Amino acid sequence: MTTLAEAQALDARAIIQTYARKPVLFVRGDGMRLYDDTGAEYLDFVSGIGAVNLGHAHLAVTAALVAQAAKLTHVSNLFYVEHRAELAEEVEALLEGDDWRMFFANSGTEAVEGAVKLARRWAGTHRPGAYKVVTLERSFHGRTLAALAATGQPSKQEAFAPMPEGFVHVPANDIPALLAAVDDTVAAVMVEIVQGEGGVWPLTAEYVSAVREICDKQDALFIADEVQTGFFRTGPAFAHQAFDVVPDVITVAKALGNGLPIGGILARGSAADALQPGDHGSTFGGGPAICAAARATLSAMVAEKLDDNAQASGAYLSDQLAQLAESTGAIVDVRGPGLMVGLTLREPIAADVASAALGRGIILNNIGTNILRFLPPLVCGKTEIDTLIAVLSTILDEASASHG
């Protein structure tokens, strides 16, 4: 078996260094737990950045993937295959209404790129002259150029300027700013219902309703980026379902494949007819093996009632973190629905806290200098949360002592 030192040396030689990897080599997973090359056990509160909602190495997903791979893995989208349309129907069944249709890609970024193309294609037919997409400051929509241009974080864009034209960023939860931005040149408004990469910042119910109303009034598409919030992460199947609104377009990825690469665009009404043959495509999107695994993933998430567990465990996690904030004074804010929780630390020590936690067998994600994000598998229970809180309490006490 490859050791950590060997993996680090090989990575440095063979891989373009776009990630500052943590010093651990994971070789096995089981539910909430990961194991490194030495056999050490870790509790995973990141789940592949919110992708492994069922937990690691789920038997049903593995069985479906292996069975289909033994028959057929790929023939391209030039032909019909098993599982593609069946999966689309099963995803659509989680949504309101019966006129949804789906396009399959391989990632969230690709889903966002496709949604932007769909919006412009739709506007070309329904609103000639409209082409802009309004997104939110602090948002994150992906790393390719158009998705990066949609992302409302200038620090991620500066090295790749100039950005593609046609994206406008407004403050989250600021209805007057949104009203001012959505004019006759705007084809769509795209929002994360909870801003994940930006630090776990939820939109208010009033603002989500305003997005729908403004899009209706201005005849623009409402695109909900549910790449991170989709598939029960916040409780309901999709985060927008906590509000009395229905988007026109939804982007999904991450948890649909339980860690395997899949993404998609869901569209309804006239938006579902916008893209015509030849307008968009994907060599690997919607292949039979990945769709078989995704069908098993979706079936297991529903059967195991992960919506209920996300809400129950999420409420417990938020409550315990709030109590920790009160007892330590080290935490300014705890926020987020379900098992998508963020906290702001009083001091800029998020990276140090995450590093210390990793050394104690807890995998955490730090965002910027003072935010921790919690995205555990949705099988997470009170026992794992209690362990997390105990470790965090010790680390924060140590940090407080070191700061005098």
Q: Please confirm, yes or no, whether 225 is among the known catalytic residues.
A: yes
Distances from the Cα of 278 to the Cαs of 170, 260, 282, 316, 370, in angstroms? 33, 27, 11, 49, 46
> Which residues touch 49 (CB under 8 Å, ≥6 apart)?
228, 254, 365, 375
SS3 state of residue 286: coil
* Nearest C-alpha neighbor of 301 from the set 206, 379, 196, 391: 379
SS3 state of residue 367: strand
Distance of CA 310 to the CA centre of its chain: 15
DSSP string over 136-201: ETT----SSHHHHHHSS-HHHHGGGPSPPS-EEEE-TT-HHHHHHH--TTEEEEEE-SEETTTT-E
* Nearest C-alpha neighbor of 178 from the set 149, 206, 147: 206
The amino acid at 315: A
DSSP for residue 56: B
- Catalytic residue (one of 140, 222, 232, 238): 140
d(CA 204, CA 193): 9
SS3 state of residue 128: coil
To the nearest 10 degrees (0 to 180), the angle between helices 382-402 and 306-328 is 20
d(CA 270, CA 272): 5
- Catalytic residue (one of 103, 248, 254, 307): 254
- Catalytic residue (one of 44, 104, 222, 225): 225
CB 218 within 8 A of CB 183: yes
SS3 state of residue 342: strand
> Which residues touch 320 (CB under 8 Å, ≥6 apart)?
385, 386, 389
Q: Please confirm, yes or no, whether 140 is among the known catalytic residues.
A: yes
Provide the β-strand partners of residue 221. Answer: 188
Q: Please confirm, yes or no, whether 71 is among the known catalytic residues.
A: no
- Catalytic residue list: 140, 225, 254
